[in-house]
Amino acid sequence: MSAKVNDDLLTERRKCEFNVEELTNYLDGGAQATQNRRKLEDKVLSTKGLFDEVPEEYLSHKEKYENAVRKAVVYYKAMKEAEDPNQTEQERANATYRSLLHAAVFKDNSPFSLHLAMFIPAILGQADEEQKKYWMKRASKMEIIGTYAQTELGHGTFIRGLETTATYDPKTEEFVLHSPTLTAYKWWPGSLAHTANYCVVMAHLYINGKSCGIQPFIVQFRDEETHQPLPGIKLGEIGAKLGFNTVNNGFLGFDQHRIPRNRMLMKNAQVLKDGTFKRSPNSKLTYGTMVYVRVVIVNGMANQLARAVTIAVRYSAVRRQSELKPDAGEPQILDYVTQQHKLFIGIASSHAFTLTAKWLTRMYQKVTADLEKGNLDELPELHAIACCLKAVTTTDTSVLVERSRTSCGGHGYMLSSNLPQIYGLVTAACTYEGENTVLMLQTARSLVKALEQAQSGKRLSPTMSYLSEKVSSRLKWDNSIDGIVKGFRRVAYGKVESAMRSMRKYVRSGLGPEDAWNMSSVQLVAASEYTSISEADIRQLQDTYEDLLGKIRPNAVGLVDAFDFRDQILNSTLGAYDGRVYERLMEEALKSPLNAEPVNQSFHKYLKPFMQGKL
Ligand SMILES: CCCCC/C=C\C/C=C\C/C=C\C/C=C\C/C=C\CCCCC(=O)SCCNC(=O)CCNC(=O)[C@H](O)C(C)(C)COP(=O)(O)OP(=O)(O)OC[C@H]1O[C@@H](n2cnc3c(N)ncnc32)[C@H](O)[C@@H]1OP(=O)(O)O
Ligand SMILES: Cc1cc2nc3c(=O)[nH]c(=O)nc-3n(C[C@H](O)[C@H](O)[C@H](O)COP(=O)(O)OP(=O)(O)OC[C@H]3O[C@@H](n4cnc5c(N)ncnc54)[C@H](O)[C@@H]3O)c2cc1C
């Protein structure tokens, strides 16, 4: 018999003014997609051995990793077996696009993440046809496990500064990989420490003493039978982190490690047997894997944010606290407008990020198809947009997930709420795949170029067209959606123009262009990430906003129910569908090993002698 649902949640669900299932179907891309997703989740989550007897919070660092590898093997097999052969690739992608299935199994991410998220995409994007055929067969069947090794102890952002060298030896038709310094050690790649046995290494290619830029190499670093590190390879784990503690991030040093010529991934640039270097049509095509992951991250943020606000909104409907009116009893904390302000923006932002992710994915697919035909025209715009959206969605999601956590009071600070772990996952994305400030400056670089083109009368791409709108500074806008968008475009234009004016002022004062850029970089980041509007309209918008909060209030639980996260995926004492928060908090607390005995051994060993003055 299923547990009784909390009365307040029952009331909330009765109050909801729209069809929740309809919204779920819309988010999934149709009723069939919802059915496919639920069927996949049912199948996979019914697999034995996927869940932890002891909550992983109570395991050691080493036990957490070993347990995660155990689950990763079971999970990957279950996902493979659950695949419906009659489904198209697109239907399969839709079924997983919104599913956070892996989150039901890994609170802190999987040791296989990088194999799926970067190693396979790097092969698909950087290998020539023959290489792709061979390596995709092995990688997709998990005969090998890979990662993406680009960042070094001394360099993450500045890829052109990477120190790992790959020197071509025409006599043996091999590359010699070497880490000349400690700072050249690859440092951070997920799965690198003890899980993977191959990686795509980004290294500085030298032929006959001449630099040929950063190129991708597929490198085996552990024996496939014994898993021992190969000769000339130094390996290890980088240590405990804020989150991602089951991703097995590691370090790797090369000592004159030789690999065959065909291990350089040669889709874009090639090295012939005699050492002839055939340059890529665009050196930045080597950075293509990162563009892909930045696009994926936007959708990932939408889903993780939806998970956090589901937990916080359901908890806020169950939690009663304080006194809103004398003698009226303790209200649901969701009735405090401050609580609505904290949480409803998160619901809206998740939907906005989902729609943005869909748009960006379509743009990525179009540009990638163009690249296959040799048309690189829209690559710079894709790069600029992907940088901006990855940075904005990860920053906003981190802020909104943390706000979801703090809106749940002390219980939000419990690991059993899962909000701290979700924060650990999303805040990492502000750093990985391009640190956010650096990416915003990449976007700013494109905006400044676009404004210069607009001022010289050139046509701009659709996403930059607001820079060529000759709008008067006295533009009045009303509070219609169109009016607000017009206002934002006007202010965004002003931010770019102001940053550019600032740079020109510094150059006129005698600074070089690089110093002028650096001095204006705070404005440049602002031009890329946010806009604000004038005082007069704030008051009017504020009234509209507070009115909107009231309209959303009766539908808040319905809106998060529509994300359709099952309890195993939420993995939270505060967010379960039945709202039995207090019972779940106690159930989880009793799982602490410290509760196995009423008096802990430290009393007899330390406390008692201490309190009796004997220590
Ligand atoms: C699969 C399960 C995953 C589960 C995850 C669970 C939870 C997470 C929750 C949500 C996330 C969801 C999914 C996330 C998926 C995976 C996450 C898992 C693991 C984490 C993986 C992280 C891996 C990494 O971090 S890999 C390393 C990433 N490193 C970087 O990004 C480095 C950043 N630096 C750079 O990109 C460059 O150095 C630079 C800053 C761009 C500068 O480069 P530089 O050469 O110096 O260029 P310059 O500034 O001089 O500009 C020159 C010119 O080039 C153009 N340019 C630059 N880059 C590009 C590009 N990429 N494409 C096209 N063009 C580019 C630039 O615009 C300039 O052009 P122009 O001269 O102005 O014309
Ligand atoms: C959880 C996690 C997982 C990761 N997984 C991988 C992986 O699998 N594979 C991999 O290769 N890497 C991985 N990374 C590494 C990640 O890609 C780098 O940390 C990231 O690129 C930032 O580089 P960095 O750490 O060297 O920081 P730095 O580049 O040293 O940045 C430090 C500070 O300097 C500032 N800064 C740097 N350059 C500029 C500039 N030009 N203008 C203005 N400010 C600047 C930055 O804004 C930042 O504030 C991972 C990182 C994390 C946190």
- For the chain, 615 residues long, the average pLDDT of each consecutive 10-residue run is 87 98 96 94 95 92 97 95 82 74 95 96 97 97 97 98 98 98 98 98 98 98 98 97 97 98 98 97 92 96 98 98 95 98 98 95 95 93 96 97 98 98 98 98 95 92 83 63 83 92 97 97 88 55 84 98 97 98 97 96 96 90
SS3 55: coil
Q: Which residues line ligand 1 (CB under 6 A)?
A: 102, 109, 113-114, 116-118, 148, 150-151, 156-160, 190, 284, 287, 290-291, 293, 296-297, 300-301, 304, 379-380, 383, 425-426, 429, 432-434, 438, 442, 445
Task: Report the distance separating Cα 278 and Cα 303, nearest Å.
Answer: 42
Q: Which residues line ligand 2 (CB under 6 A)?
A: 114, 147-151, 155-157, 188-190, 244, 249, 428, 431-432, 434-435, 437-438, 441
What stretches of 168-287 show up as alpha helix (H) in DSSP? none
Contacts of 361-369 with CB under 8 Å at 24 or more apart are 361/295, 361/299, 364/291, 364/292, 364/295
Convert 575-594 to b/e letters by CB count within 10 Å (16 or more is b).
bbbbbbbeebbeebeeeeee
| d(CA 435, ligand 2 centre) in Å | 5
Sequence letter at residue 342:
K
Residue bearing the CA closest to ligand 2, atom 39:
438
Catalytic residue among 56, 433, 583, 597: 433
- Identify the burial level of 602 via C-beta atoms within 10 angstroms of its C-beta, where 0-12 means exposed, 13-18 middle and 19 or more buried: exposed
Is 130 an active-site residue? no
Site to probe by mutation for ligand 2, drawn from 116, 155, 188, 237 as the one with most ligand atoms within 8 Å of Cβ, is 188
pTM of the model: 0.96
Residue bearing the CA closest to ligand 2, atom 5:
189
Residue bearing the CA closest to ligand 2, atom 7:
189
CB 263 within 8 A of CB 174: no
Residue bearing the CA closest to ligand 1, atom 73:
380
pLDDT at 533: 46
Nearest CA-CA partner of 461 in 385, 524, 530: 385
| d(CA 76, ligand 2 centre) in Å | 29
Task: Report the distance separating Cα 36 and Cα 25, nearest Å.
Answer: 11
Q: Which uninterrupted H or E stretch holds 221?
A: none
| d(CA 362, ligand 1 centre) in Å | 19
Q: How far is CA 392 from CA 124, 358, 400, in A?
A: 27, 16, 12
SS3 77: helix
Residue bearing the CA closest to ligand 1, atom 36:
434
Which residue ranges make up the annotated binding site?
151, 190
Handedness of CA 30, 32, 38, 43 (dihedral sign): negative
| d(CA 311, ligand 2 centre) in Å | 30
| Residues paired with residue 147 on neighbouring β-strands, in sequence order | 199
Task: Report the distance separating Cα 117 and Cα 120, nearest Å.
Answer: 7
SS3 364: helix
Query: ipTM greater than 0.95, yes or no?
Result: yes
Structure tokens at 607: 């406390």
CB 382 within 8 A of CB 388: no
Q: Give the number of other Cβ atoms within 10 Å of residue 163's Cβ.
A: 18
Sequence letter at residue 525:
V
Convert 462-479 to b/e letters by CB count within 10 Å (16 or more is b).
eebebbbeeeeeeeebee
Task: Report the distance separating Cα 222 and Cα 233, nearest Å.
Answer: 8
Helices (H) and strands (E) in the chain, counts: 23, 11
CB 244 within 8 A of CB 109: yes
| d(CA 188, ligand 2 centre) in Å | 10
Q: How many CA atoms lie within 13 A of 316 on its CB side?
A: 29
Contacts of 46-55 with CB under 8 Å at 24 or more apart are 47/74, 47/75, 47/78, 48/74, 49/74, 50/74, 50/75, 50/78, 50/104, 50/105, 51/105, 51/568, 54/591, 54/593, 55/415, 55/416, 55/588, 55/591
Task: Report the distance separating Cα 138 and Cα 115, nearest Å.
Answer: 12
Domains contained in the chain, CATH given: 116-280 (2.40.110.10), 437-469+475-531 (no CATH)
Q: Which residue's entry shows tokens 């391009």?
A: 434
- Backbone angle region of 5, left / alpha / beta, with phi > 0 → left and psi within -120 to 50 → alpha: beta
CB 261 within 8 A of CB 217: no
Q: How many CA atoms lie within 13 A of 555 on its CB side?
A: 15
pLDDT at 539: 65
Phi, psi of 104 (to 5 degrees): -75, -25
Atom number of ligand 2 nearest to Cα 436: 47
Structure tokens at 385: 């947009």
Task: Report the distance separating Cα 65 and Cα 70, nearest Å.
Answer: 9
How many Å from the N-terminal Cα to the C-terminal Cα in the chain? Answer: 55
